[in-house]
Amino acid sequence: MNLAFFHTLGCTAECDHCITHAGPRVRRTMPFEEARRIVQMAARSRYITGIIFTGGENLIHRRQILELVRECTELGLKTEIITNGYWATRPSAAAEIAGAFRKAGLGRMHLSIDRYHLPYVSAERIHVALQALGDAGFLREIACVVEHDHDVPIRPHVTEILAHGGSLPAVGDEAGIRGFLETLRTSWPRELLGLLERYGIDPAETIFVEEAVALRDRLRAVELADHIVQSRILVQYQGMATEGRGRILLGKEGEPRHVDLLPDDPCESVGRNPTVIPEGGFSPCCSSWVNFPGQILGQLFSEELDDVLDRMRNDPMVDFMYHQGPRALAKYLHDCGHALPDRYTHPCHTCGVLLESYSREELMKHIEAFYLQHPERRVLTARGVRLVPESTLPIP
């Protein structure tokens, strides 16, 4: 399991959809010695195997992040960075930065792209950054946000193709590989394809990261998967969470649905993406929860990381969101006459409203009342969030 590490919420951009209110005027950065201590706790942890530096734009404190990555490497922790790519001002500068992080042992660097980042970081800089990362020996990876297609299942399509009589191309068959990847892209949201076009990225030169993982892990086509990811850009995408500043954007552009019409799904993120914010607060997810300090589950400046992780794994609120999801509680409270909004755009939006509207103690009482009314939904297995195996990609 990875620890999402919000070293800073300062940023070179002030995107309208940012879930954490990050921006150039934000002065929230973790003291370096505290950051080092948390890295050292993560290395001792029974649960944590890697750290993802996110935020905020961590590379505005490049020297500190470089040193933290170096320390993670020495301690045996895998590392990733999510960045907007602002630093790729010219090829030589980008090559120097990518090379330094490669030498420090960084495993992966993801470039965030969407229409809200574009006014702050040009498509040209993204291309310069991708070139520098590839030249330094990294996989080239982009992380995209799509706004109106978040109900499209984000799942590997490759297994369905094979189940219906399709076959895998040979490693040396480039025409076959292109045709195979074109078939996979039929499941991609149109908005994602339009975003790639806006950035001047040829979809034929990309592959959805979950498809690559499915090829490698489920189908054991390791040689084919490695060949594809080395020669193409890896794409991740997710729906816009409409939390943080995104909630303001929701009021202008959102398409909310009545709580009765929302999918009654559990949250796949809570408990699987533990997060530390710049002030040391611990959140069980990297989205809504980080915006509400009163709902944090621990303080890593004064507590041991594994003690807090053990608490998270047995926390009734985390357990409820993981097994039932925020919609279940929002609908229950709405039906009971609580003064809550009746329309939401995304599970993170629903969760954020609940965390903002009630104290932790009140939410615990409402959860217990929900189970008294719906005893059939109470999970009878052992309490606590399951730890799932991490998917693999070839890290060069």
Q: Are 206 and 235 in contact (CB under 8 A)?
A: yes
What pLDDT shows up at residue 257?
Answer: 85
Q: What is the spatial distance between Cα 206 and Cα 250, in angstroms, rounded to a whole number?
A: 30
Instruction: Please report the sign of the dihedral spanned by the C-alpha atoms of residue 97, residue 98, residue 101, residue 103.
Output: negative
> How do the pLDDT tens digits run along the chain, 396 residues long?
999 999 999 999 999 889 888 999 999 999 999 999 999 999 999 999 999 999 899 999 999 999 999 999 999 999 999 999 999 999 999 999 999 999 999 999 999 999 999 999 999 999 999 999 999 999 999 999 887 654 454 455 676 766 666 788 999 899 999 998 888 888 788 888 999 999 999 999 999 888 888 888 877 889 999 999 999 999 988 877 777 887 777 665 667 889 998 888 899 889 999 999 999 999 999 888 999 989 999 999 999 999 999 999 999 999 999 999 999 999 999 999 999 999 888 888 899 999 999 999 999 999 999 999 998 888 754 444 443 334 444 544
Angle (CA) 256-242-355 rounded to 5° is 95
Give CA–CA dist 180/193, Å, rounded. Answer: 17
DSSP-assigned beta bridge partners for residue 281: 299
- Radius of gyration of the chain from its Cα atoms, rounded to whole angstroms: 21
Tokens 């074109």 belong to 182
pLDDT value of position 387: 39
Give the integer Cα–Cα distance in Å for 393 and 375.
Answer: 41
DSSP 8-state code for residue 390:
P
CA atoms within 13 A on the CB side of 260: 1
pLDDT at 383: 42
| CB 29, CB 7: distance < 8 Å | yes
Give buried/exposed letters for 86-108 (b at 16+ CB in 10 A, else e).
bbbeeeeebbebbebbbebebbb
What three-state secondary structure class fits 59?
Answer: helix
Give the residues across from 108 on adjacent strands. 80
Query: End-to-end CA distance of the chain, in Å?
Result: 20
pLDDT of residue 259: 92
pLDDT, residue 55, reads: 87
